[in-house]
Structure 1
Amino acid sequence: MRVLVLGAGALGGYFGGRLVEAGTAEVGFLVRPARRAALEREDLRIDSPFGAWRGRVAALEADDVGPGWDLVLLACKAYDLDDAVAAIRPAVDARTLVLPVLNGLAHLDRLSAEFGAGRVLGGLARIQATLAPDGTVRQLNDWRWMTFGAQDGALTDRLRAIEAAFAPAKGVVAEAVPDIRARMWEKLVHLGTSAIGTVLLRANVGEIARSPGGIAFLHRVLDRNAAIAAAAGFPMRDAFLAEYRTLFADPTSLYGTSMLRDIEAGGRIEADHILGFLLDAARRAGVPDDIHEAAILHARAYEQRRAAGRLPGR
């Protein structure tokens, strides 16, 4: 199996690197020139609770990419989607499946329009990882799941082959499922709740939970997001809601979203793709939208300050 990974950052570097380590696929990383230079100079490095790894990888730039890939793993930020589509277009032919592990759901329509719904899988990654300043991919806890499936729900031999390629990979649990849209809605409910909480309050889950009223606030947001999903035809499972009620009530939790980390670092954020999407969905569903509106306004105001060069320390 030939796998092209777009990006060698937190997600692409982790899942692609673990696949290289397992030796079950031929893997190439489509990256920008600076990242290619770093990979060729220092290898790909993973720091993880499941074991560190360092190894030489095939780093490619746009001019190096042509057809012949079985799978393209799309691991980019939502705001880079248009550039990502242009970058992978030469690699996608009749044999290629595209597996995006972006946050949210809005990207599926864009990718399906470009490559065809039958070629674009639904996918999600449940992992906390970051790309450290020195280029190391750091996994922050024991979350290590990648879930994927055909948009029509079919469990094909090709999906089973992808699952099998990842099976020996250390620190990865990859699963092909028949209900990927429902799983993606579950992730959006949990991510939307944590993003709204951590971005509005500029604190991780434990810090919010230790604040009077913090747990009730997070649970209220969770309930509203679950109502949004139910109105879209994807009611949340009782076990899922129980799991995340517990997570959002943990005063010792260090869980913080990548959006919060990006804000703290003065970086770009996926405001519209997650928060804006949920606000629009709340209004369609008739769910109270005041918290969602405050969150997207907060994020957009941050983006305005960033564009004006007015962030603290910058």
Structure 2
Amino acid sequence: MRILIVGAGSTGGFFGAKLAKAGRDVTFLVRPQRLTQLEQHGLCVRSPAGDLDIKPQLITAAQIHSPFDIVLVAVKAYALESAINDMAAAIGPDTLILPLLNGMRHMELIAEKFGKDRLLGCACKVVTSLDESGRIIQQGMLNDITYGELDGSDSERVANVHAFMRDAGFNAKTSNTISRDMWEKWTLLAAMGSINCLMRGSIGDVVSVKGGREFADRVIDEVASIIQSVGCELSAPFLAEARRLLTLEGSPQTSSMYRDLTAGRAIEADQIIGDLLVRASAKGLKAPILTLVYSNLLVYQAQLQK
């Protein structure tokens, strides 16, 4: 099987480098700036599990002349529209699309363009970033990727994807509850992002101050209430663990959106917070904290564009 990884940033580059090192047929679809960087320096991963340097197979949109078996979409959500156009020539009648984006809106956008039958649900857990030279820096040892049919069924195509992904240096697994997995991930991202970004600190920073724990609890309650109204029922064990993680004393944990914000980069405010508010509004739900968070992030985005 041949895989096209759309984006060679911190997430796509990490999993793609692992797959290439394991002998899989991996090609990265990149923009000109990243193309030049990777041609000069290669794809470099720096990780507690061991460093990795490869010379990747690279391609631009104009150079795609035949479909791929798997297209792994690993761009930031605000770059999805252009990525969809760039990867169109790689999508054939039997191509499977695995999106590693946050939230749920990307599933609808990809389905509108290529059809829902092309999509598998997919979620990943890894903490990575790009340094100034374009190297991928992994923090910690978490490197999970999960995929499955959106209806929860077993299928030959999921089995084929799993055969391709497994034993490649990261934790790959199938899921019969992938849709719920994605909603749960969105719950964590929206709650953690709101806590970190509005309060401008780590989970430990927030809960250590007067009123911080109470604020975090209110955020979790509001996000979970919306998710359960517009998405899926969240289990009691999941909610208990989410609350534990998001109110843990001394925790240095921060969301990727907060790390992007503090680094002065573009953020996924519309996809992680804004879209959740759109869905809440459609159900007539009030979301005072998320509304405040979203306004705060919009101010940041406006300042970034000046």
1:60: which partner in 2? 59
Corresponding letter in the other structure for 2:19: L
Contact 1:117 1:151 in 2 (8 A): no
Residue 27 of structure 1: how far off its partner (Å) = 0.2
Whether 1:22 and 2:22 are equivalent positions in the alignment is: yes
Provide the C-alpha distance between the structure 2 equivalents of 1:62 and 1:91, rounded to a whole number of angstroms: 9
* 1:10-67 per-position Cα deviation (integer Å, ceiling 9, x unaligned): 11001111111111x2000011122122212211111112221111110111122122
* 1:178-215 per-position Cα deviation (integer Å, ceiling 9, x unaligned): 22211111001110001111111111212112222222
Provide the C-alpha distance between the structure 1 equivalents of 2:94 and 2:59, rounded to a whole number of angstroms: 20
Corresponding letter in the other structure for 2:139: L
More divergent stretch after superposition (252-261 vs 189-198): 252-261
* 1:109-132 per-position Cα deviation (integer Å, ceiling 9, x unaligned): 111011110101221211111111
Provide the C-alpha distance between the structure 2 equivalents of 1:284 and 1:219, rounded to a whole number of angstroms: 24
Provide the C-alpha distance between the structure 2 equivalents of 1:76 and 1:121, rounded to a whole number of angstroms: 16
- Consecutive unaligned residues of structure 2, counting only runs of 5 or more, are none
Contact 2:150 2:178 in 1 (8 A): yes
Provide the C-alpha distance between the structure 2 equivalents of 1:256 and 1:245, rounded to a whole number of angstroms: 14
2:233: which partner in 1? 235
Provide the C-alpha distance between the structure 2 equivalents of 1:45 and 1:131, rounded to a whole number of angstroms: 10
Of 237, 253, 263, 1:265 maps to: 263
Contact 1:204 1:254 in 2 (8 A): yes
1:311: which partner in 2? none
More divergent stretch after superposition (230-239 vs 71-80): 230-239
* 1:90-148 per-position Cα deviation (integer Å, ceiling 9, x unaligned): 00001211111100001111110111101012212111111111111111122211122
Provide the C-alpha distance between the structure 1 equivalents of 2:264 and 2:240, rounded to a whole number of angstroms: 34
Map 1:6-17 to 2 at 5 A: 6-17=6-17
Of 276, 280, 283, 2:281 maps to: 283
Corresponding letter in the other structure for 2:22: A
More divergent stretch after superposition (83-92 vs 244-253): 244-253
Map 1:150-161 to 2 at 5 A: 150-161=149-160
Secondary structure (helix, strand or coil) at the match of 1:127 reads: strand
Of 208, 212, 221, 1:214 maps to: 212
Provide the C-alpha distance between the structure 2 equivalents of 1:301 and 1:271, rounded to a whole number of angstroms: 11
More divergent stretch after superposition (205-214 vs 97-106): 205-214
Residue 274 of structure 1: how far off its partner (Å) = 1.2
Residue 216 of structure 1: how far off its partner (Å) = 2.3
Whether 1:189 and 2:175 are equivalent positions in the alignment is: no
Provide the C-alpha distance between the structure 2 equivalents of 1:203 and 1:66, rounded to a whole number of angstroms: 47
More divergent stretch after superposition (145-154 vs 54-63): 145-154
Provide the C-alpha distance between the structure 2 equivalents of 1:303 and 1:31, rounded to a whole number of angstroms: 25
TM-score (norm 2): 0.95
Residue 285 of structure 1: how far off its partner (Å) = 4.4
Residue 282 of structure 1: how far off its partner (Å) = 3.0
Corresponding letter in the other structure for 1:27: V
Provide the C-alpha distance between the structure 2 equivalents of 1:48 and 1:219, rounded to a whole number of angstroms: 33
Map 1:66-215 to 2 at 5 A: 66-170=65-169, 172-215=170-213
Of 250, 253, 271, 1:252 maps to: 250
Provide the C-alpha distance between the structure 2 equivalents of 1:304 and 1:38, rounded to a whole number of angstroms: 29
Corresponding letter in the other structure for 2:205: E
- Consecutive unaligned residues of structure 1, counting only runs of 5 or more, are 309-314
TM-score (norm 1): 0.93
Contact 1:226 1:235 in 2 (8 A): no
Contact 2:67 2:89 in 1 (8 A): no
Whether 1:39 and 2:31 are equivalent positions in the alignment is: no
Provide the C-alpha distance between the structure 1 equivalents of 2:164 and 2:48, rounded to a whole number of angstroms: 21
Provide the C-alpha distance between the structure 2 equivalents of 1:47 and 1:7, rounded to a whole number of angstroms: 18
Change (3 A) 1:173 1:259: same
